[in-house]
Structure 1
């Protein structure tokens, strides 16, 4: 299996300057390549006979032919890999099944993450050595050590990115993974805002410590907004503004680490104890009705849970079963199979006709009653073989 290790880099001020220049150069190449691609496509649309359709080779040749003098001082591989990624982005645009489907857009220097790629990096004495641009002398170019030990001795394509004033490296490597032993057990997971239900209980993905962090994040966001409202664009230049923004970024990082730890442990527990796992194939965008509900769904990380569980099932030889989007796991009776329709449906407010709460499931055909989420788990479990 191909895994990716993300490590935080120890970078001095000299290397910070060079890495920032490479990040800026990748963004410049991406925007220039996207502009060229769009112009070629428009010309091809107007006159297909004289103007061929854009592709990776044609766009790359056009960018290389129009290189400025200053571009020759930076890594040539940066431009080559940008055009390759741009071609893949356009290819994914025509496949709506992609999780991050969308039209390629221009990169902004204000984006929270800036990055570049290289395929000429090496591991030397446990440190990462990047290919040196022509404009940099050997005395100003250093090997990068990391806060964690590297798990590989060779690397191919390395992604360096800057986020929240820290530098990270994403290093792919191959690892032999053995399938886990069979348990002959099956389970189903019903995802909800704030918690996931499965056959052995419930896991809370928005614990109390996260609620405290979100309150503090809201407080810092209001402080920054108030400073921008009073001082305008000059607010971002003040030291006080930078200090508050640093605190905000720190809390966002804490939230991401806590939730990632919860999901990793929960998905590992599932693949350790079960051979078949059933989850719902949810249309999350269609479920975001109000800004309040949308915020809760985004914080519950439905898509990330499915992503992590998918690759872990592939790694360890477990079977992941997706329930169809139209499968009525909530409205179906787990005992007799009756599906509620019309004014008998259970909504977020419950059922007004029978006066039941949103977490109650009562079947009026067979007098079956259960918790709504537990009933959904049993319905999903019926899809396992």
Structure 2
């Protein structure tokens, strides 16, 4: 009976796999998408303003400990904020789907729950959405797919006629007939839809077990692992960033010379379009590199060890912030995490205090004090930042110059067999 129950459980288990499709709307549907993005932002900001007001009032009521005030100003919840906004709807709001408002308030409630949970990576008080943000979007839980065409929900009182309301053709077949809430977003003048498919675990083709383990030491410009090194900032990407720098300077010069009138200039808009195209190209190159590298890792290894870096803290450093951002430390961890979950591979995160860089991979001696290696190398011994020299006289590598990144990778690889060492030494 127990085995039969396990088999049924495996068959019923679903895995979420999200696919992002680029949409090619006509003029009418482009207007519909833009208005939906604006309305979603309006609902979120209205809900946040009301939530802040109710939250401050409830704090005052709790401080005074008066029962009458506590009843009059209860703590805000998703349902209370949503019902208040629905009750005070204006006439123009009925031309948009009611689900846009509901999903916006749901996202707001999730953001507030993260505010009270400091363990969340994006911990902090929710902020108002800006119409100047580079990415605008909304969510829909009423979208449907028929014959490879994605249809967006149309409100009953929409100003767009039914015969002009069209779907979006997907460039590949859907992974499953079942999917969750679809996220539509607009970025750099293009439109996309992220569809989270619900796939049964038994239908996912998992790669064979290899019994191998590897470690990845991430650095600015390249990642080191047991099979070699992958360059994440290739020459073709540097050429794109040079063009980005050129177009940014041109736009800045036009703004200085023409002031506010520059934004309406045709030459300004042309240059801005070229800049956005370069950003798109750089993003596509980086995403292609990350997807191929992470797929190679999960197919070739059963255990993968990486550093649990504080990317936000590293971005605060003026020395390597640009290199860290372009090398996509955070995105690499994000992609590798969900692929390991998909293919049942073990991802080991090294402790932030684990001295992978300061420890000798041969003898285990850890550098302390003035012997430590920094971003500038070691001033005491005159070594460079990419050089590791062990000063333990009993070590076979005594006084030998070793590549610091390879040494760190070998130290991380030890955690695959000895996880008890995953702490500060």
Q: Under TM normalisation by the shorter chain, which class is it?
A: over 0.9
Distance in 2, Cα, partners of 1:353 & 1:164: 49
Tell me the TM-score normalised to structure 2 length. 0.87
Tell me the TM-score normalised to structure 1 length. 0.96
Q: 1:100 aligns with which of 106, 122, 125?
A: 122
DSSP 3-state at the match of 1:47: helix
In 2 relative to 1, CA 346–156 (structure 1 residues): closer, same or farther, beyond 3 Å? Answer: closer
Q: 1:18 aligns with which of 32, 40, 54?
A: 32
| Residue 8 (structure 1) aligned with residue 22 (structure 2) | yes
Distance in 2, Cα, partners of 1:47 & 1:226: 54
Query: Would you say how many aligned residue pairs link Structure 1 and Structure 2?
Result: 385
Distance in 1, Cα, partners of 2:415 & 2:278: 40
Q: 2:373 aligns with which of 336, 346, 350?
A: 346
Task: Give the equivalent residue in structure 2 for 1:334.
Answer: 361
Distance in 1, Cα, partners of 2:244 & 2:270: 14
Distance in 2, Cα, partners of 1:180 & 1:155: 24
| Residue 114 (structure 1) aligned with residue 146 (structure 2) | no
Distance in 2, Cα, partners of 1:27 & 1:70: 15
Task: Give the equivalent residue in structure 2 for 1:145.
Answer: 169
Gaps of 5+ in 2: 1-14, 63-69, 418-425
DSSP 3-state at the match of 1:107: coil
DSSP 3-state at the match of 1:117: strand
Task: Give the equivalent residue in structure 2 for 1:182.
Answer: 209
Task: Give the conservation status (yes or no) of the 8 Å contact 1:121–1:156.
Answer: no
Q: 1:42 aligns with which of 53, 56, 61?
A: 56
Distance in 1, Cα, partners of 2:173 & 2:346: 33
DSSP 3-state at the match of 1:221: helix
Task: Give the conservation status (yes or no) of the 8 Å contact 1:37–1:54.
Answer: yes
**How big is the alpha-carbon RMSD for the aligned residues of Structure 1 and Structure 2?**
1.5
In 2 relative to 1, CA 41–274 (structure 1 residues): closer, same or farther, beyond 3 Å? Answer: same
Task: Give the conservation status (yes or no) of the 8 Å contact 2:178–2:198.
Answer: no
Tell me the CA shift for residue 101 of structure 1: 3.0
Write out aligned runs for 1:351-370 (5 A): 351-365=378-392, 366=395, 368=397, 369=400, 370=402
Tell me the CA shift for residue 289 of structure 1: 5.2
Task: Give the equivalent residue in structure 2 for 1:376.
Answer: 408
Distance in 2, Cα, partners of 1:156 & 1:329: 41
DSSP 3-state at the match of 1:291: coil
| Residue 129 (structure 1) aligned with residue 156 (structure 2) | no
Distance in 1, Cα, partners of 2:310 & 2:181: 33
Task: Give the equivalent residue in structure 1 for 2:5.
Answer: none
In 2 relative to 1, CA 9–149 (structure 1 residues): closer, same or farther, beyond 3 Å? Answer: farther
**Following superposition, which runs of at least 4 residues in structure 1 exceed 6 angstroms of deviation?**
none
Task: Give the equivalent residue in structure 2 for 1:218.
Answer: 245
Q: 2:236 aligns with which of 209, 229, 235?
A: 209
Distance in 1, Cα, partners of 2:330 & 2:317: 19
Note the alpha carbon deviations across 1:232-267, whole angstroms, 9 max, x for none.
122111111111111111111111111111111111
